[in-house]
Chain A
Amino acid sequence: MRQAAKDKCISLILLAVAMSAIASLAMIAAFIFREGLPIMMKVGVGKFLLSSDWYPQEGRFGIFPMIVGSLAVTAGAMVIGGTLSLACAILLTQFCPPKVVSILKPCIELLAGIPSVVYGFIGVVILVPAISRYLGGPGLSVLAASVVLGVMILPTVTSISVDALRAVPRSYREGAIALGATEWQTTHRVMLKAARSGIVAAMILGMGRAVGETMAVIMVAGNTLDLPHSILAPVRTLTSNIALEMGYAAGEHRRALFATGVTLFAIIMILNTIALTVSRRRARKAGQS
């Protein structure tokens, strides 16, 4: 009887802790929405998202160039980082001798911990001047940000993709080989399709990280208010905008920054919903087969 009472006591403590944690997180989300939504409504959601006039001192809040900026550098990051990661992951799981894998994989994972400001700094010191000299423009550009972000997400996306590919049952591979396929044919016709939801999850995670990066982007992107007209043009992202202005923003301006936060929240929610639906569809298909 005492044991049951003790158990109940413990579960109540756990409940209290868990509830306060969840409540705090919910309150934070609520705070951000409470600060940001009213000004979005006041300016008009359409105008807020589609207007290119960001003049806080005049009360004009339009974040369209920043949205384009964030999307552009993220897309660039995925093109660079996503393809390299995938190449890496496929190689490590399908075509690499185990001894080499046991060195390379921990190598890549350890490098996941390098601070983003270091990437940004190397971008400024090496990449930006190179872009300016060989490709033109000021060097601070969509391209610079894309490359820096792409490299930054390599460790994360690679290791999750590796895990996804490793999770595919051996029988799939062996079956395909037994049918006479080469390893490469097996890979792109069987393994990749089987690991698709895990790889998509890895890509989504990478995208989220790219969208959310602030410091490295401030250092290499140029932070102009204009829409970028090419990948060599400077750009400002949503996160950079918040970081540059939050120190001195007050009143409506500060609330507009929270509204930018709400926009980012929405973007992340959309990305996560996509990941969720893809994995659910996968699970359903697997259940059927």
Chain B
Amino acid sequence: MKWIIAAFLALAAAVVFVSIGAGWGGHRGKPVVCIGSTSVEPFAEMLAEEFQHKDPNLSIDVQGGGSTAGIQAILEGIADIGMCSRSLNPPEAAKLRGIPIALDGLAVVVNKSNPVTALTRDQVRAIFSGEVARWSEVGGADEPIDLITREEGSGTREAFMKLVMEAKVAPPAAAASQPSTASAPAAAPPPVVRISRKAMTQESNGAVKELVKHNRRAIGYMSLGLVHDELKIITVDGVHPTAEAVRSKQYPLMRPFLFVVRGTVRPAAQDFIDYVLTPEGQHVLEKEGLVGVR
């Protein structure tokens, strides 16, 4: 009996001691922690892998959670770099610095078997607000539309709201005086049309992709760079989204990828950011379908 307890305590003490001891005496140094957008995450992970090959002494941890989660993480001090797939709003910009690392298109996606291939921006807005509820109203089969959306803290969702759900892409003051006639019950403030309550929420680009891939009635929006030809991308207002169209600003639905930092940055984190902005780093991104910022 005593043996068991003694052995158990010794083992426990050993584990705890090694854990904490290794933490304080670790020669690897604290890893650079990147938290935020699930759109940026796969690309940041790729860059991190490349970067760690060059300098194995540095370690970089990349985690998702959404753009706003990344900003929160920076503000609360648990991350070095926040990944964001939308521009910073004024209160955030006052405290933080957003460093653009790439441009990404926002793709409206449907299942590959869906006959619909092109929509106008007004049609997309009507679909997502719930006003248009069946595919037949936009040239498809007579089936209900299954709406897929992201969680509120998602930069992709924010970008979608700003680029599509706002009646006109205009400065907030102007938008307030021109509510779209195609809007569903427009709330008092803000003047942006709400996404329908019936929309099914998924927490990452990957989840949206998987859902639309397996549901022929689904429509969703996600990062253009992550579609990888597994879904049908809708041509919006006559422009088919490709990296070229994004680069030449023809495709209107476009948002920046940002690395967000606060104040002075740790040398290790700064090294990583610098790497991402080098031609080599940018090439990694462009190879994957993003538009570089050089």
Contacts and interface: CB of A to CB of B under 8 A. Distances in A.
Q: Does A touch B (CB under 8 Å) in the complex?
A: yes
Given A129-B214, A245-B153, A249-B153, A138 B201 contact: no
A226 B196 CA distance: 9
A73 interface: no
Interface residues of A, number: 22
Contacts of B75: 250
Contact of A248 (B68, B211, B218): B68
Contacts of A139: 215
Contacts of B66: 247-248
A56 interface: yes
A3 B79 CA distance: 54
Interface in A120-162: 129, 132, 138-140
Contacts of B30: none
Q: How large is the interface on B (under 10, 10 to 19, 20 to 34, 35 or more residues)?
A: 20 to 34
A222 interface: yes
B125 interface: no
Interface string A245-275: 1011110000000000000000000000000
A223 interface: yes
B152 interface: yes
A17 B45 CA distance: 44
Given A138-B217, A249-B153, A244 B198 contact: no
B244 interface: no
A247 B65 contact: yes
B69 A223 contact: no
Contact of A224 (B68, B189, B198, B217): B198
A138 B146 contact: yes
Interface string B179-200: 0000000010100000001111
Contacts of B49: none
Contact of B197 (A218, A225, A247): A225
Contact of A222 (B68, B200, B214): B200
A80 to B, nearest CB: 23
Contacts of B137: none
Contacts of B187: 58
B193 to A, nearest CB: 13
Given A56-B152, A244-B151, A249-B153, A223 B214 contact: no
A225 B146 CA distance: 14
Nearest to B195: A225
B188 to A, nearest CB: 9
Given A56-B152, A57-B152, A250-B72, A244 B65 contact: no
B190 to A, nearest CB: 8
Contacts of A223: 200-202
A225 B198 CA distance: 6
A140 B200 contact: yes
B286 interface: no
A175 B183 CA distance: 73
Given A138-B146, A249-B153, A226 B198 contact: yes
Contacts of A140: 200, 211
B69 A244 contact: no
B37 to A, nearest CB: 11
Interface in B68-97: 68-69, 71-72, 75
Interface in A38-97: 56-58
A234 interface: yes
A140 to B, nearest CB: 6
Contact of B201 (A58, A244, A249): A244
B206 to A, nearest CB: 12
Interface string B138-159: 0000000010000111000000
Interface in B10-63: none
A51 B69 CA distance: 26
Interface of A: 56-58, 129, 132, 138-140, 218, 222-226, 234, 236, 244-245, 247-250
Given A224-B199, A244-B151, 17 more contacts: A57-B152, A138-B215, A139-B215, A140-B200, A222-B200, A223-B201, A223-B202, A225-B197, A225-B199, A244-B203, A245-B153, A247-B72, A247-B153, A248-B65, A248-B66, A248-B153, A250-B75
18 contacts: A58-B189, A222-B200, A223-B200, A223-B201, A224-B197, A224-B200, A224-B201, A226-B197, A234-B198, A234-B200, A236-B201, A244-B201, A244-B203, A245-B151, A245-B152, A247-B69, A248-B69, A248-B152
Which 6 pairs, one residue from A and one from B, show the smallest C-beta to C-beta distance? A248-B153, A248-B68, A247-B69, A248-B69, A223-B201, A247-B65
